[in-house]
Structure 1
Amino acid sequence: MDPYSLVTRNTVEIVTDEELRALLQKPVRRVYAGYEPSGEIHLGHLVTINKLMDLQKAGFEVTVLLADLHAFLNHKGTLDEVRETAEYNRRCFEALGLKDAKFVMGTDLQLNSEYELLVLQLSQEVTVNRAHRSMDEVGRGMDHPAVSQMVYPIMQMADIALLGVDAAVGGIDQRKIHMLAREYLPGMGYAAPVCIHTPIINGLDGKKMSSSAGNLISVADSEDDIRAKMKKAFCPPGIEENPVLQVLQHHIFPRFETVVMHRPAKFGGDLEFSSYAAVEAAYGAGQVHPLDLKTMTADYLAEVLAGVHDAVV
């Protein structure tokens, strides 16, 4: 697959396509994604991790910001708690296949005079209303936000600048913060980042994925847990918002060129698929039973996650 196709597959938006194409012509190109260390790494996180792996294959140098200070500001725990979680998250990322990335702890980047001065300069330009709106999708308790949560998006802009990256990866919930960076960083002498946005996938019940709802698969789940959770997953006849199909699209086909659905001969025998589109078409046409789809998905997901369970449990 060519570099452009690798970067853009399974994304919902590139800002901008023209800038991305120009960036791909440069001999050195750098990209980052930031993660709040606030708990288990799950299939929601894996969407952007897979995208970072695509970017590595496309020739990008990848930086992962383990945003311990952001998590602290967003009420995700004490600094000691989030730092411990950050180290656990790093082991998960590496076990998932994100090798040779540069991991940066937020407090190592952010607690210095150059960084703090840039945050203060940006805070002079960004209104409280803009900062609040940019946090709508990512903040906790935003009906009554703390001042720290208004600093959060400004720090994320400074991260992009001082990490020296050309592009930023995030779920589409990061869009408003990324647009602040594109708008305000050039005025501070930094280039506007190319922004690569991935979808927010559903939880296994078809609703918003949430640790509190228990509708997710952790990357450290055992094979038995993966199979049990997938067996119970919501899998409607249609293809829209189907969480089982989303797992196939975003987690299985980026890693396997073909997948095989094993079925008894009396139910039509084995089926082999060489693309996600082929699976979607067969399922949408009623040629595949939901239980067979879930079983196949569990088979391959267990293989993808096997190394994580062994490495971190």
Structure 2
Amino acid sequence: MDAYTLATRNTVEIVTEDELRAVLAKPEKSVYTGYEPSGEIHLGHLVTINKLMDLRDAGFKVKVLLADLHAFLNKKGTMERVAELADYNRRCFEAVGLKGKNVEFVLGTDVQLNKDYQINTLRLAQQITLNRATRSMDEVGRNMDAPHVSQMVYPIMQMVDIHTLGVDLALGGIDQRKIHMLAREYLPTIGAKAPLCMHTPIINGLNGKKMSSSEGNYISVADTEEDIRKKMKKAFCPPEIEENPILQVLKYHVFPRLDTVTLKRPEKFGGDMEFTSYEECEKLYGEGKIHPADLKASCTEGIVEVLAPARDYLGL
């Protein structure tokens, strides 16, 4: 797979493709994604983590910002608790394969409390209206019906992160788009370059609804094999392709990590099938040639295999 195809697979938007081609041609290039430290790293996080591994393999230096201050501003816990989670999350990222000489983990408080960073944050705060800052947080903020001032600082800090880390590319889920577009518009006003931006989809939880810890509709990298099988057995798998969580797990987690995926079934139902691409699997499922139960079983074996090294790394 060529570098451009590897870099762009399983994305929903690149701003802009011409800029990406120019960056790919550079001998040295870098990308960052920021993560608020959280209790568990699950399949929702793994969409961007898998993309970071693609970009690493396409020649990018990867910088992962463990955004402890952002988590604090977004009311995710005390600074002490957030620090504990940041260290645990780093181990989870490494466990799923995001490691190597071209991967660097940066703790937010190590770079966000110096004078230059704070001055740049204040310079941008002078220019961005409260309405723009609020709208940029629509998809990522908590309790945005009555936002706090801290949540308005959040997107401005994220913009300064891009400049401070000196990266060419800002990667995030599509929910980060509004913040990234602010960065493209306003970073040049403080003498910083407008970043190339890449966005990945937000996938459904296993029950077909928005993935949420309160719903328990996710698979964590720390789940045991037994946990995974129980969750997958109850997962929603409609005959339709659109918004199908099982197909999403196959597309964004299983096929990018495995060379082949085997669907096992009795001879009377057509026998085993082997797939080397997601597109082939989706086509046959859409044509009704694969039963939802068989698709779930195949997906279950695939995600168990994909996450097995993570369970070993974490000592689970």
Smaller-chain TM-score bracket: over 0.9
SS at match of 2:83: helix
1:31-180 matches, cutoff 5 A: 31-100=31-100, 101-180=103-182
Equivalent position of 2:289 in the other structure: 287
- State whether residues 38 and 89 of structure 2, in contact with CA within 8 Å, keep that contact through their aligned partners in structure 1: no
Equivalent position of 2:313 in the other structure: 311
RMSD: 0.8
SS at match of 1:238: coil
- Displacement of 1:262 in angstroms is 1.3
Equivalent position of 2:280 in the other structure: 278
SS at match of 2:256: coil
Between stretches 257-266 and 138-147, larger displacement belongs to 257-266
Equivalent position of 1:213 in the other structure: 215
**Letter of the structure 2 residue corresponding to residue 68 of structure 1:** D
Structure-2 separation of matches of 1:81 and 1:38: 10
Between stretches 72-81 and 286-295, larger displacement belongs to 286-295
- Displacement of 1:36 in angstroms is 0.3
SS at match of 2:159: helix
Structure-1 separation of matches of 2:215 and 2:261: 30
SS at match of 1:181: helix
- Displacement of 1:307 in angstroms is 1.9
- State whether residues 232 and 296 of structure 2, in contact with CA within 8 Å, keep that contact through their aligned partners in structure 1: yes
- Displacement of 1:38 in angstroms is 2.1
Q: How many residues align?
A: 313
- Displacement of 1:311 in angstroms is 2.5
- Displacement of 1:258 in angstroms is 1.5
SS at match of 1:82: helix
**Letter of the structure 1 residue corresponding to residue 33 of structure 2:** A
Structure-2 separation of matches of 1:311 and 1:22: 37
Structure-1 separation of matches of 2:163 and 2:306: 34
Structure-2 separation of matches of 1:308 and 1:145: 37
**Letter of the structure 1 residue corresponding to residue 203 of structure 2:** I
Structure-1 separation of matches of 2:26 and 2:303: 35
Which structure 1 residue ranges, 5 or more long, are not aligned? none
- State whether residues 227 and 295 of structure 1, in contact with CA within 8 Å, keep that contact through their aligned partners in structure 2: no
After TM superposition, what 4+ stretches of structure 1 lie above 4 angstroms from structure 2? none
The CA deviation string for residues 50-96 of structure 1, in whole angstroms up to 9 with x for no partner, is 00000001100000000000000000000010110011100000010
Structure-1 separation of matches of 2:227 and 2:44: 17
**Letter of the structure 2 residue corresponding to residue 146 of structure 1:** H
- State whether residues 68 and 83 of structure 1, in contact with CA within 8 Å, keep that contact through their aligned partners in structure 2: yes
SS at match of 1:125: coil
Equivalent position of 1:16 in the other structure: 16
- State whether residues 131 and 153 of structure 1, in contact with CA within 8 Å, keep that contact through their aligned partners in structure 2: yes
SS at match of 2:193: coil
**Letter of the structure 1 residue corresponding to residue 244 of structure 2:** N
Structure-2 separation of matches of 1:13 and 1:39: 28
Structure-1 separation of matches of 2:231 and 2:22: 43
Which structure 2 residue ranges, 5 or more long, are not aligned? none
Equivalent position of 1:25 in the other structure: 25
Structure-2 separation of matches of 1:274 and 1:164: 37
- State whether residues 238 and 244 of structure 2, in contact with CA within 8 Å, keep that contact through their aligned partners in structure 1: yes
- Displacement of 1:123 in angstroms is 0.4
Structure-1 separation of matches of 2:226 and 2:263: 19
**Letter of the structure 1 residue corresponding to residue 30 of structure 2:** R
**Letter of the structure 2 residue corresponding to residue 34 of structure 1:** G
- Displacement of 1:192 in angstroms is 0.6
